[in-house]
Amino acid sequence: MLLEDMVPEAWVRGEVSNLRRQSSGHVYFTLKDAESQLPCVLFRVEAMRSGLDLRDGQQLLACGRLSVYEPRGAYQLIVKAVLEDGVGKLRQQFDQLKARLAAEGLFDAERKRELPARPRTVGFITSPTGAAVRDFISILQRRGWRGRLVILPAKVQGREAAGEIAAQLANAARLKIFDLLVVGRGGGSLEDLWAFNEEPLVRAVAASPIPVISAVGHETDFTLCDFAADCRAETPSAAAELISSAYLAQLENIADFANSLRESGIEEVERRRNDLALLAHRRQAVSPHRFVEQHFLRLDDLAGRAQLAAQQELSAKSEALHRTAAALAARDPVNRVELEMANWVGLRQRMKRLVATSLEPQKKSLANLEHRLQETDVSRVLARGFVILSSTEGIPVTQRAQLRPREKVRARFKDGEAGLTAD
C-alpha cells in the first residue's frame, strides 16, 4: 500500500507476452524488456476503449498505476490506456532470421526426411524434470509402445539452453544408437521459447543425421526449429502419439495378417476336408461291394414292380368277370320274375303310403268337426253354467219380450229342470 501511494501513474514501454483474455473481457499480459518484466491488467472497459488488438510480441506504451494483488502479494500495473509502440524486438528478430534461413533453403520440403515407421530407440532432448517429459512417457506407456526411450537432458530456457540442446544433438549423432530424435518442451511465452529460435540450434536441427521431430510449446506456438526439423508436432504429447501411432498401426497390420492367415488356414482345411469327402464318395461309388448292392436293389425293385403289375392285372380280370356274371344274372328268367315280384311288392307299399298320406287331411278335418260338435252339445253348454228356458209347450225362450207377466216357464239346468214364473 505504501508503494501504491508513493508511485504516481506512469507510462511504461515494453513487449507484450503471456497475453490472456478472460471471458469477463479483462486482459492480462506482461510487459517486458531485456532486463525486467511487469504483470499488467487491462480491464474490460479500458480494453474496449483502446481499440487495440493486443497480441504477444507487440511493443506497447501503457499508462497506469501500481497495485498489489493481495492473495499472491504480487505487484501489477492497472493499465488505464495503451498505445502501440511498433513491433517487438524479439518478433523482429524472429522474422528476420526466419527469412534469412528460408532464403538459404534450410526450411525446404526437399530436405525433410521421412520418419522411421518403427523406431526402436528414440531420444528425447528436453528438461528431465519438466511436465513435458512426464506426459511424453505416460502417453507412450498408455498406448503400449515397446521401443526404447532415452532422455537426453538439456536446459530448455535461458541463455545456455540452445547450446546444451545442440550439444545433445551432436552427442546423439556420435552414439549412433538412435532411430529418431525429439526436441521439445512445454508451452510458454515467446521469450520462454526463444532458445528454439536461436540460429546455432536451428542449424544443428537441420544438420542432424538422425530424423528430428520438433515438439515445442502449444499448438499455436511456432519456433524456427519447427521449420528446420523433419516433422513438427504441436506438443510433446502429440509427438508421443505420432511415434506410438506408427507402432500401433504396425500392430494392427500384424493382427490383421494373423487373422487373415488363420482364416486362410481354416478355409484351406475346410477345402481339403471337402475334397476328401468327395474322394471317399467316389471310392464308394466304384466299389465292387457297392456295385453288387446296387444290382441287388435293382433286382428287388424289378421284382416288386412285376408283382405289382401281376396284382393289378389279376384285379382287372376279376373285376371284368364280376361284371360279366352280373350281366348274366340279370338275363336269368327266374331272377327277372323275382325282380318283378319285388317291384310289385314295392309298388303296393308305395300305394299304401300314398293312400294313407292322401287321407290324412280328411281325417284331421273330421276330427276337427267332431270336436266342434262336441263343443256345441247342450250338456257341455249347461256344464259351463248356462240355463235353457222354454215355455210349457217346450218352445225355447230367447228374448224377454216372449214372456208375459206371471207366465210359467221351464228352466233346464246341468243337473235337472225346474219351473219358474216370470215377473
Q: CA–CA separation, 305 vs 177, rounded Å? A: 92
Dist CA 170 CA 209 (whole Å): 9
Angle between helices 161-175 and 199-207 (to 10 degrees): 20
> What residue segments make up the domains of the chain, in order of their start?
2-89, 102-108+115-250, 379-421
Measure the CA angle with vertex 156, ends 155 and 159; round to 5°: 75
Amino acid type, 219: E
- The pLDDT assigned to 290 comes to 66
Q: What is the model's pLDDT at position 7?
A: 76
Nearest Cα to 115, choosing from 46, 32, 212?
212
- Residue 119 has phi, psi (to 5 degrees) of -65, 125
**What is the C-alpha to C-alpha distance for residues 238 and 219, in angstroms, rounded to an integer?**
9
pLDDT given at position 165: 95
- Taking the C-alpha atoms of residue 319 and residue 325, their distance in angstroms, rounded to an integer, is 10
pLDDT at 367: 75
Q: What is the pLDDT of residue 375?
A: 67
Say how far apart CA 161 and CA 193 lie, in whole Å: 10
Contact predicate 71/86, CB 8 Å? no
Options 3.40.640.10, 3.50.50.60, 3.40.50.2300, 2.40.70.10; CATH for 102-108+115-250 is: 3.40.50.2300
How far apart are alpha carbons 246 and 120 in whole angstroms?
A: 12
- Digits of tens for pLDDT over the chain (423 positions)? 566 667 788 889 889 999 999 998 899 999 998 788 999 999 998 888 877 888 888 888 899 988 887 777 788 999 998 887 754 567 778 888 899 999 999 999 999 999 998 899 999 999 999 889 999 999 999 988 888 999 999 999 988 999 999 999 999 999 999 999 999 998 887 778 899 999 999 999 999 999 999 999 887 778 999 999 999 999 999 999 999 887 777 777 776 777 878 887 888 888 888 888 887 777 766 666 666 666 667 777 787 888 888 888 888 888 888 888 777 766 666 666 566 677 777 777 887 777 667 667 777 777 777 777 766 667 777 777 778 788 777 788 777 777 778 788 888 887 888 888 877
Angle at 172 between CA 171 and CA 174, to 5 degrees: 65
Rounded alpha-carbon distances, angstroms, from residue 102 to 113, 248, 404: 17, 35, 168
Region 2-89: CATH code: 2.40.50.140
